[in-house]
Amino acid sequence: MAADSLSIAGILLSLTAAGLIFFILRLQQRRRATFAEGEEYSGRARHPDQLMVPDAEALEELDRLLEQAIVSEGD
C-alpha cells in the first residue's frame, strides 16, 4: 500500500518537473524570437530624462531608506 502511494507521488512529481521544464524552454524560445525580430537590447533607458525627475513615491522611498540607515547606525 505504501509502495503504491510512493509510486504515484513519484510519477506525479516527475510529470510536474517535465511540465515545468517544457514551460521554461517554451518561454525561453519565445524571448529569443522576440529579440530575433530586430529589436536589439542595448541596456539603455527608453526615457533617460525621466530618471532625473523624482516623483513623490521615489522621495517617500528615499526618506524611508534614510530613516532605516540612521536607525541601523545607532544600533
pTM of the model: 0.44
25-54 burial, b if ≥16 CB within 10 A, otherwise e?
A: eeeeeeeeeeeeeeeeeeeeeeeeeeeeee
Domain-wise residue ranges, the chain: 2-74
pLDDT grade for 59, boundaries at 50, 70 and 90 = very high
Amino acid at 54: P
Is a pLDDT exceeding 80 seen at residue 8? yes
- Confidence (pLDDT) at 61: 95
What gap in Å lies between CA 14 and CA 19, rounded to an integer?
Answer: 9
